[in-house]
Amino acid sequence: MRVLLVEDDTIVARGVSLALKAASMIVDTADTGEESLELARLYDYDIIILDLMLPDMEGYEVVRRLRAARIETPVLILSGLTRPQAKVRGFGMGADDYITKPFDQQELIARIQAIVRRAKGFSQPTLTVGPLTLNLGSREVSVEGHNVHLTGKEYAVLELLTLRKGIVLTKEAFLNHLYGGMDEPEVKIIDVFICKLRKKLAQAGAPDLIGTVWGRGYVLRDPTSPARITLPPADRPTIAAA
């Protein structure tokens, strides 16, 4: 899961970033509204965590501009403003949740997972696609009740595919989501991860979930709607639902 954290307080930003990374999330940080808007345009984040008191503009304005640009990435406001009016205004601008400081880190992580699940069309605590079940909290994977043991990177690849079921993901998108632009290996490593994933899923009884779209990338096919495949947009060069 890839998160954009928008916070100008370096101490708070570091604490939140460490907590999210401990939960195996890739975290990008921005300390101004303009920087956050630019990053949100470039990358397909799973969620944006947003402070309201930024040096160049209010967080409300960031949300307004995101929604005006039809960027639908979920937004969780993390703010010291506790007044009901502040929360109502945030929701009115298009935010998805609001947590006041100080906050419990485990609650923050649980809320992030719940928001992302709902945004991707999963109402249950676990993500289910055909015989496959994936638990964001425990990072456990099973096929028809049988546990599938994955490495950390294999799980991250499968999580990305599951959250974007039916959407073709380029190899570059996988690299961005798995490594966040830091120390990225060669793109062919994605083929290795996919090969190992397919083998493990097939052994568990789900041989045909991950499809290849030649010249494009990989897609997790939903057996209930196998014909619904979305190709990556040509004008978004980075990690957009690619």
Task: Kindly report, residue by residue over 166-213, the tens digit of the pLDDT.
Answer: 999 999 889 888 887 666 678 889 999 999 999 999 999 888 899 998
Is the pLDDT assigned to residue 225 strictly greater than 80? no
Residue 238 binned pLDDT confidence (cut-offs 50, 70, 90): very low
Q: What is the residue-averaged pLDDT of the chain?
A: 89
List pLDDT tens digits, range 65-115.
Answer: 999 999 999 999 999 999 999 999 999 999 999 999 999 999 999 999 999
Which of 4-8, 43-47, 81-85, 234-238 shows the lowest mean pLDDT across its residues? 234-238
Per CATH, the number for 126-220 is 1.10.10.10
What CATH fold (topology level) applies to the domain 2-119? Rossmann fold (3.40.50)
Domain boundaries, the chain: 2-119, 126-220
What are the CA-CA distances from residue 172 to residues 71, 78, 190, 206 (Å)? Answer: 21, 30, 9, 25
- Residue 80's pLDDT is what? 92
What are the CA-CA distances from residue 19 to residues 16, 82, 108, 175, 238 (Å)? Answer: 5, 23, 9, 22, 26
Sign for the pseudo-dihedral over CA of 235, 216, 140, 207: positive
List pLDDT tens digits, range 127-163.
Answer: 999 999 999 988 999 998 899 999 999 999 999 999 9
Mean pLDDT of 109-129: 92
- Residue 123's pLDDT is what? 83
- Residue 29's pLDDT is what? 96
Integer Cα distance of 148 and 200 in angstroms: 7
Which of 42-46, 132-136, 183-187, 228-232 shows the lowest mean pLDDT across its residues? 228-232
Greater confidence (236 vs 61) lies with: 61
Contact 112, 3 (CB under 8 A): yes
pLDDT above 70 covers what percent of the chain?
A: 91
